[in-house]
Every structure is written in C-alpha cells, then in structure tokens.
Amino acid sequence: MNKVFLFVWLGLLAYTFFLAPGVSLGDDPIAQSLISGQFEGVDPLVVTVFSMLGLYPVIFLMLLIPKDIYRWPAWPFALFSFGLGAFTILPYLAFRKEAVRETTRGPKWVRSVLVNPVTIILALLVAVGLYFTGVNGGSLTAYGEAFMNSHLVSTMTVDLLVILWVTYWLAKYEWRLRFSWLAFIPAIGILILLLRRKQLGPEAIVGGEHERGP
C-alpha cells in the first residue's frame, strides 16, 4: 500500500466535506448550471476546469489500462473517475498492491485503441479547445469568486490539482517518460508526453516499479 496516496485521498475527502468553501449543491446556482450543461452566465474559466475534469478520465484510461498488471484491476476505478475524478484513482493507487501479472489485463485491442496516436491527438484537440474556452472571456477574479461561493468549484479545483500530481507520478514512475514535469500542464502536457513516448504497451513497466514513487 502506498501511504502517500492514502494520505492525499484522506486529505481530499477532508477538504471536500469539512474545509471547502461555498454553498452546498442544492443552493449553488453555479453547480446547477454546470451539471445541467447550461453554461451561460458561468465564467468560461470555471467551465474549462469543469470540462477538463471530464477529459481526465479518458487520460486515466490511457495511463492505467496499458499498465494493468496489479492485483486490483484498474478499469473500474478509471471508469468511476468520470464522475469522481481523483476520489477513485487515489484509493486504487493506494491499495492495488504488488504486480501479480506478467501481461496486461484485458483485451489487447482496447489497449491499442487507448494508446493509438489518433486517439491521443483527438483528446489533445479537445484539450486545446478547452483552453480556448478558458482564454476567451475567462477571468481569474471571477474564478476566485466562484471558488469562494461554490462548494463544487472549490472542490473541483483541488481535485484538478491532485489529478495533475497523480498524472505526473504515473508519467514518471510507470511510463518512465522523459520531461514528466510537463504533466503539470493540464491535459495537454500528459497527452504530448504520451504522443511522443518511445515505448508503447505494458513492456515499459516491471512489477514493483511503482514503489519508487512518493
């Protein structure tokens, strides 16, 4: 068990339930607009961060499924991250235990599709579009106000920061990618790293290598 992931997960839960500012979901007009897809009147930067959290589960599928050799299968946690983000990825990394397989779990064609350059480029184009959304009319001041007034915005902001750290760790210690620090550039960084990687597939990792991390 990787205790760092466990502590970060517990810290994220504590922040969400006890520390995050803003009104609850039922009284939060920003949250209601985001969840219903009615983005008019919501700061574009807030929309960008919210949408980015919808892209990262695809990235987690790209990162975890081709390396799925651990005792706990990765795919349920990656799929649940579509709604819960780092709240599901962190416990997976904390409790997945040691590598128990010599070959990656699941159909080969799924792994091939996930790490195919066309798939990565499509995700990269979506990420670039999200950046344009944030730049076009987005305001740091407005985002700060939304952070303080909306429990969802404050939680998803911290969630994204944790996700950036997790993707950096995966890029560095599991995929062994050079310039892994680029993963801290939301979405675009890790997708560029995957696109330019030298080695494809599960052969890039050996059992227990994850223990070299935090």
* pLDDT, tens digit, 9 for 90 and up, residues 143-179: 999 999 999 999 999 999 999 999 999 999 999 999 9
pLDDT band at 79 (very low <50, low <70, confident <90, very high): very high
Question: Please, where are the H alpha helices in the chain?
Answer: 3-14, 29-36, 44-64, 75-84, 86-95, 108-114, 117-135, 140-149, 151-169, 188-195
Nearest CA to 177 among 198, 161, 163, 191?
Answer: 198
* Phi/psi at 99 (5° precision): -70, 135
> What mean pLDDT comes out for the span 188-205?
71
Note the pTM of the prediction, 2 decimals.
Answer: 0.89
> What mean pLDDT comes out for the span 104-113?
90
Nearest CA to 186 among 119, 123, 92, 142?
Answer: 123
Cβ neighbours of residue 180 closer than 8 Å, sequence gap 6 or more: 168, 171, 172, 193
Is the pLDDT at 88 greater than 50, yes or no?
yes
Query: What's the pLDDT score for residue 198?
Result: 55
Q: In the block, which residue shows the tokens 């520390």?
A: 19
Query: What's the pLDDT score for residue 206?
Result: 37
Helical axes 151-169 vs 44-64, angle rounded to 10° = 30
CA distance 25 to 23: 7
Count how many domains the chain has. 1
Return the SS3 of 178.
coil
Q: Which amino acid is at 135?
A: V
Q: Which domain holds residue 171?
A: 3-212
Q: What is the rounded radius of gyration, in angstroms, for the C-alpha atoms of the chain?
A: 17
